[in-house]
Structure 1
Amino acid sequence: MTELKLYDPFPNMQFSDKHCFLCGAHTEPDNRTPVFATWLQDRYKLRDKELLLLDKSITTYGELTIPCCDQCHTQHVIPLEEEIAAASEQGIAGLQALDPRKLFQWIGKMYYGTLITELIKEADPLIMPQNPVSENPKMLGKFREFFKVLQSMRVPMAFSDFLPCSLFMLEVSPTQDELPFEYHDELTTMAFSVKLGPVVLVCTLLDNGIIGKALGKLYRLTQGQQLHPIQVAEFKARVFYAAYIFNVIPEYFERPIKPGDTHITLDTIIDDVTNEVFNPWEMTAYAHMLEEMLKPWDIREKEILADPTKPISFLLDDENNFKPLERYQKLS
């Protein structure tokens, strides 16, 4: 029987290679699980591809592993990975058929695995990061709240009328799509995207669906459409920028456990009385984010803000309707 008790590594900063990332149990050196699952590495030939960490050290997808006890590995991590692998083979229809909680857990595990790798490395960094995560109380508080809901991987859990994240699913047109896999995350804003063949998942991991509602009209316009990769890049820029200006941190509270309970129920509150939910939209800051996402097409801020009142858009026409785009050709 599963113990209905959450693990909290944050008060004692219990991040090391000797504690399971999910339950805190003591682990031996060979008790590890890949942050990016073996099936993902095999399908997209990722094993030897490099990743740059915050302390400027370089690892590979294959080398990036986290401590995980046998029970969590066999009972929770592997079944989740198998479910996602099977669904992703069916394309967007397979992923849409999944319980969104499963996608949240899967994305959350990759994000959190990357995060605790950074926290472990901060104890002995190659180069000390400019803003160490372990020395930022606000960020640690945010990660602590996130880890509560991520433990739904391990502990039977019900969310009371909310999903902790906003999740977007886009389908990519094959016409000018040359990337079978792409991964992008922002540690501090908790925005994440991963491309699995023709499907791109974009997620803001700790917003209780607020960003999803804010961008709901745009997202609905993309549904049933095959997007050009440059349109996907713009959509990602809008989501990542929304996460950047998102200004509140959800808090989660366990309801008291009663005899006979088979799961934990979490309630949530957001302090939107003393804090604005979103900081003001700044055109230049958004243009910087969009420029970063549009790097493969060499589109610079000057072009993005050719009209200072309205940034360039590949998704929407002048009437804010969806703009079909089969091929993109840069004008010289």
Structure 2
Amino acid sequence: MANLKLYDPFEKMQFSDATCFLCGTTITKEQRTPVFGEWMQQKYQLKNKELLLLDKSVSTFGELTIPCCDHCHLNHIIPLEKEVEAATEKGVAGMQELNEQRLFQWIGKMYYGTLVTELIKEADPLISPEYPVSEDPKMLGKFRSFYKVLQSLRVPMVFSDFVPCSIFIAEINPTEDDLPFEYQDELTTMAFSIKLGSVAIVCTLLDNGIILKALGRLNRLVQGQQLHPIQLAEVKARVFYAAYIFSVVPEYFERAVKPGDDHLIMDTLIDDVTNEVFNPWEMTAYAHMLEEMLKPWSIREEDILQNPKQPLSFLIDEDGNFMRMEKYQSIRS
């Protein structure tokens, strides 16, 4: 019989190396699972690639592991990683065919694994973060909502007419693509991007698909296209900025379990009556985000805002059509 009981580590802030991150079982310090799948570490030589954490300590992709009991590791984590690995072998088509809930779980596991690492480290940080996550009630409430739907990885769960996230999948043109792997996440806005070879995934993890709808035209423009890396950077800037101005937090409620039920049904509620769903789009703030994403091409904010009414874009031309690009030509040439 399926175990339909949810676990809530936020109730008692139960984050330690002695507790499974997924079910709460007491474990030994040796029982852990990689945040980034071993197949991915091997394929993209990530084991010794460095990661900077919030407390300014440096870890590597290989060192970043989280507490996980043997049961969850064998029955939930490994099957998920195998499923995603098989999808990546088929390129962008394989990732687009992958069940959206499974893709959410895979991205969510990496995001939450990084978060759990931060929460455990805050008990004994190398350098105390300026704004500790564990002392921010609003953020903890947001993470708590996210964790409830992430448990669909362990507890059989059906989302009633929603998916908790927005997922953008794009194919990258190989002509000037020098980076086989890229990864970026933003803890507070829950925006996430990862590039695996020719496939890029950009995701906002707790918006019930609202950002995908808001940026629907952008998503339709890039479907079936091969993006230059600078165009991917712009997609990331638009999605990450939309996550930054997204201002509501979905709530999730499980329906009462009846005898014989083999899964939970999760409903959702967003307060869009007393709260605006998005804060105003501010062009200067967006330009700053885009500048960050365009650093490899040395493009500055003043370049982006030469025409404030129509900021610099490498994706969309003046007529609103997709700009096909194989090679980047400097805007200063």
TM-score by length of 2: 0.99
Aligned residue runs from structure 1 range 109-148, under 5 A: 109-148=109-148
Mapped to 1, the partners of 2:326 and 2:98 lie a distance apart of: 29
Q: Cα RMSD between the aligned structures?
A: 0.6
Does residue 301 (structure 1) correspond to residue 301 (structure 2)? The answer is yes
Mapped to 1, the partners of 2:116 and 2:252 lie a distance apart of: 21
Aligned partners of 2:2 and 2:263 also within 8 Å: no
Aligned partners of 2:191 and 2:204 also within 8 Å: yes
For 1:50, the aligned partner's letter is: E
Aligned residue runs from structure 1 range 189-204, under 5 A: 189-204=189-204
Aligned to 1:52: 52
- Cα distance, 1:17 vs. partner? 0.3
Matched residue SS, 1:120? helix
TM-score by length of 1: 0.99
Mapped to 2, the partners of 1:102 and 1:178 lie a distance apart of: 29
Does residue 287 (structure 1) correspond to residue 297 (structure 2)? The answer is no
Matched residue SS, 1:185? strand
- Cα distance, 1:11 vs. partner? 1.2
Matched residue SS, 1:12? coil
Aligned to 1:221: 221
Aligned to 2:275: 275
Mapped to 2, the partners of 1:80 and 1:308 lie a distance apart of: 45
- Cα distance, 1:2 vs. partner? 2.5
Aligned to 1:164: 164
Mapped to 1, the partners of 2:162 and 2:305 lie a distance apart of: 37
For 1:269, the aligned partner's letter is: L
Aligned residue runs from structure 1 range 176-255, under 5 A: 176-255=176-255
- Cα distance, 1:136 vs. partner? 0.3
Aligned to 1:38: 38
Matched residue SS, 1:211? helix
- Cα distance, 1:223 vs. partner? 0.5
Mapped to 2, the partners of 1:29 and 1:12 lie a distance apart of: 20
Matched residue SS, 2:230? helix
- Cα distance, 1:309 vs. partner? 1.5
- Map Cα deviations across residues 10-69 of structure 1 (whole Å, 9 max, x no partner): 010000000000000011111000001100100000000100000000000000000000
Aligned to 1:83: 83
Mapped to 2, the partners of 1:326 and 1:41 lie a distance apart of: 29
Mapped to 1, the partners of 2:8 and 2:2 lie a distance apart of: 17
Does residue 321 (structure 1) correspond to residue 317 (structure 2)? The answer is no
Matched residue SS, 1:109? helix
Mapped to 1, the partners of 2:87 and 2:192 lie a distance apart of: 19
- Map Cα deviations across residues 270-328 of structure 1 (whole Å, 9 max, x no partner): 00011100000000100010000001101000100011222100000001111111110
Matched residue SS, 2:171? strand
Aligned to 2:258: 258
Matched residue SS, 2:307? coil
Aligned partners of 2:183 and 2:195 also within 8 Å: yes
Q: Structure 1: any 5+ residue segments left out of the alignment?
A: none
- Map Cα deviations across residues 240-278 of structure 1 (whole Å, 9 max, x no partner): 000000000000001000001010001000000111000
For 1:326, the aligned partner's letter is: E
Mapped to 2, the partners of 1:27 and 1:279 lie a distance apart of: 43
Aligned to 1:4: 4
Tell me which stretches of 4 or more aligned residues in structure 1 moved more than 3 Å: none
Greater displacement, 105-114 / 91-100: 91-100
Mapped to 2, the partners of 1:21 and 1:260 lie a distance apart of: 28
Does residue 18 (structure 1) correspond to residue 37 (structure 2)? The answer is no
